[in-house]
Amino acid sequence: MTSHRLQRWAIILMAYQYVVKYRKTTEHGNADALSRLPLGYDKNFDDEEARYNVRELYTPINAEIICRHAENDKVLKRVCSYVQRGWPEKLSPQDADLRPFFNHRFALTIKSNLPCLQTEYNRVIIPASLCGQILRLLHDGHWGVTKMKQLARRNIWWVNMDKDIVEMCSNCDICKVVNPAPARQYESWPDTNRPWERVHIDSAGPVFNSMWLICVDAFSQFPFIVQMTTTTTVHTISALSCGCG
């Protein structure tokens, strides 16, 4: 981000002709008088000078606005209701549009009246009516797909958010020029020095009407294969404990 800021400063400065000169700290108090030339406490100044407390800076989107939009969002209202009352075992056909939320149901919470998705970060779920505006805010500065996703994933979520970000950047000529997609680099796993230092595990199948849990020791390449009826967490842990223990 710093490099982008420097680039923007450089662009602003291109409009001027200037010479950069070195001046000692003591000789450029003019540039930074408030911190470099303090005069000490001045009662008259404090008493007489008009002062303004900045209580609230203008923010284009805040919790209150999101709350208001969320209240008018028919989908989010149903989601919030399920979060508060508990989700059913299965979604009924009339709730089919809630599927993406249902799939995240264990990570959904409500904080300060706002529906949130709890991941590594607590992400506010953005009502559909605000997604466009938020997308434009995220895009301000033309960070490119990766940076926009990083910013978004720390704060917000909506269904198809990642897809919308990609679409916005791929339609933006500036993003394409400034942030071309980095070349993908494939790297091998690092070498291991002893057995069981690293184990690769995956489920395969169905093959021969079964699922198969495959564990391969990276050092010896020795495979452990366990026949499974299901691949639930409980069964997988059990198979790893007994089958490979």
C-alpha dihedral sign at 102, 108, 109, 115: negative
Residue with tokens 């969320």: 70
- Closest approach of Zn ion to the CB of residue 102, in Å: 33
d(CA 80, CA 74): 10
Token couple for 52: 């303004």
Is residue 181 close enough to count as binding Zn ion by CB under 5 A?
no
Give the interface segment with Zn ion, choosing from 1-9, 106-114, 147-155, 175-183 (CB under 5 A). Answer: 175-183
Give the interface segment with Zn ion, choosing from 5-13, 100-108, 134-142, 152-160 (CB under 5 A). Answer: 134-142
- Closest approach of Zn ion to the CB of residue 114, in Å: 28
Please compute Rg for the chain using Cα positions.
28
Strand order in the sheet with 223-228: 199-207, 210-217, 223-228
CB closer to Zn ion, 70 vs 175: 175
d(CA 104, CA 20): 56
CB closer to Zn ion, 25 vs 171: 171
Residue 69 neighbours by CB under 8 Å, 6+ apart? 127, 129, 130
DSSP state of 195: T
CB closer to Zn ion, 78 vs 142: 142
Is residue 175 close enough to count as binding Zn ion by CB under 5 A?
yes
CB closer to Zn ion, 141 vs 243: 141
Is residue 172 close enough to count as binding Zn ion by CB under 5 A?
yes
- The 50-69 site mask, x for binding Zn ion (CB under 5 A), equals --------------------
Is residue 77 close enough to count as binding Zn ion by CB under 5 A?
no
Is residue 142 close enough to count as binding Zn ion by CB under 5 A?
yes
Query: By three-state DSSP, how is residue 217 classified?
Result: strand
Sites of contact with Zn ion (CB under 5 A): 142, 172, 174-175
